[in-house]
């Protein structure tokens, strides 16, 4: 069983399904400096968890999935540190989530603003409860959506709806988010986790290696990643060859390898 607890990020498991929880309800699950590092560490744990087939991401408290980056964490940074530390490290964390080998389902069980929407965009599927709202309010604070809010969100949702939120300050309700393609399911308040569990159950009934490969290929087509996918795919193919086994054996036995192209 995979478990993890660091800063305000928690992981527990129910069989092959891992639940990642943002556990900072008193701050509407805003992400602080230590939370960014914790997300990277949590992804590293999940990548190594052979027993985990699906990951479900949600926020604690029921009021907010994630309200974005904690303003206390970045509000007093110098311009250089804001870009070099806050934004760059945030990208490392969100890239790790988007590129998890397991399918990632986000349960938007509360309001989703700013970095919270950028976080939700890392998921492969989003379930939104009908009381939640979504928006990109950064320009109203004199800042930009800096955790791929103008990049991954556009690739996933299209530029029109991102412009509506980021440029014009539009806040979407659940049905508006569904119509715009920002979320995939809308359910009643409190029903998000059960809906995600049912979707996860369906995923667990599919071939795990094929599912992992399909996710990487879709990421490749979407521009999420390129070099890693090509090398992973090629490495897996080579890993099945007799030549690889011969090369490793020859190295251990300190002799010339006898490669046969098989």
Does residue 52 lie in a domain region? Answer: yes
Domain that holds residue 192: 4-204
Report pLDDT for 185.
98
pLDDT tens-digit readout, 210-257: 999 999 999 999 888 877 777 887 888 888 888 888 888 888 989 898
Per-residue confidence (pLDDT) for residue 260, from 0 to 100 = 87
150 and 37 in a common domain = yes
pLDDT tens sequence across 135-147:
999 888 888 888 8
- Shared domain check, 67 and 33: yes
Same domain, 49 and 68: yes
Residue 93 sits in a domain whose CATH number is 3.90.226.10
Q: What pLDDT is attached to residue 81?
A: 74
- pLDDT tens for the chain, 262 residues long, are 578 999 999 999 999 999 999 999 999 999 988 999 999 999 999 999 999 999 999 999 989 999 988 877 766 767 777 776 778 888 999 999 999 999 999 999 999 999 999 999 999 999 999 999 999 998 888 888 888 889 999 999 999 999 999 999 999 999 999 999 999 999 999 999 999 999 999 999 999 999 999 999 999 998 888 777 778 878 888 888 888 888 888 889 898 988 888 8
Domain membership flag for residue 114: yes
15 and 120 belong to one structural domain: yes
Q: What span, in angstroms and rounded, lies between the C-alpha atoms of 203 and 252?
A: 41
DSSP at 85: I
In a domain, 262, yes or no: no
Q: Are residues 56 and 146 in the same domain?
A: yes
Co-location of 230 and 129 in the same domain: no
**Runs of H (alpha helix) within 99-172:** 115-120, 152-157, 159-166
State in Å, rounded, how far the first CA of the chain is from the last one.
38
Answer yes or no: is 260 within a domain. Answer: no
Look at residue 244 and give its three-state secondary structure. Answer: helix
For residue 259, tell me if it sits in a domain: no
Q: How far is CA 184 from CA 28, 54, 107, 168, 169, in A?
A: 23, 17, 11, 23, 22
Distance (Å, rounded) from C-alpha 209 to C-alpha 68? 33
- State residue 74's pLDDT score: 66
The 104-108 sheet, strands edge to edge: 4-6, 9-14, 17-22, 54-59, 104-108, 125-129, 185-187
Q: Indicate the residue among 204, 222, 245 that finishes a domain.
A: 204
Residues belonging to the active site: 118, 138
| Shared-domain flag, residues 87 and 52 | yes
| Same domain for 229 and 242 | yes
Same domain (yes/no): 159, 223:
no
Number of independent structural domains in the chain: 2
**198 and 213 housed in the same domain:** no
SS3 58: strand
Q: Which residues sit opposite 69 in a β-bridge?
A: 31
Q: What confidence score (pLDDT) does residue 262 get? A: 81
Are 130 and 248 in a shared domain? Answer: no
Give a yes or no: residue 132 inside a domain: yes
65 and 105 in a common domain = yes
Place of tokens 């590293």: 44
Domain assignment of residue 25, yes or no: yes
């Amino acid at each position: 069983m995979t478990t993890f607890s660091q800063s305000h990020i928690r992981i527990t498991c129910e069989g092959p399904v891992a639940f990642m929880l943002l556990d900072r309800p008193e701050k509407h699950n805003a992400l602080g400096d230590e939370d960014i590092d914790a997300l990277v560490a949590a992804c590293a744990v999940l990548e190594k968890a052979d027993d985990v087939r699906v990951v479900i991401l949600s926020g604690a408290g029921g009021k907010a999935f994630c309200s974005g980056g904690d303003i206390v964490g970045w509000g007093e940074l110098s311009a250089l540190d804001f870009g070099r530390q806050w934004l760059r490290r945030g990208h490392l964390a969100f890239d790790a989530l988007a590129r998890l080998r397991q399918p990632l389902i986000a349960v938007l069980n509360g309001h989703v603003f700013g970095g919270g929407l950028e976080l939700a965009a890392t998921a492969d599927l989003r379930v939104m409860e009908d009381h939640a709202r979504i928006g990109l309010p950064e320009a109203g604070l004199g800042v930009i959506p800096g955790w791929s809010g103008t990049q991954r969100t556009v690739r996933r949702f299209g530029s029109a709806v991102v412009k509506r939120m980021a440029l014009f300050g539009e806040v979407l309700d659940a049905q508006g988010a569904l119509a715009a393609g920002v979320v995939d399911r809308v359910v009643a308040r409190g029903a998000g986790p059960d809906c995600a569990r049912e979707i996860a159950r369906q995923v667990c009934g599919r071939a795990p290696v094929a599912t992992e490969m399909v996710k990487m290929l879709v990421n490749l087509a979407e521009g999420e990643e390129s070099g890693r996918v090509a090398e992973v795919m090629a490495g897996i193919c080579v890993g099945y060859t007799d030549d690889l086994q011969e090369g490793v054996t020859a190295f251990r036995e300190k002799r010339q390898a006898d490669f046969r192209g098989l």
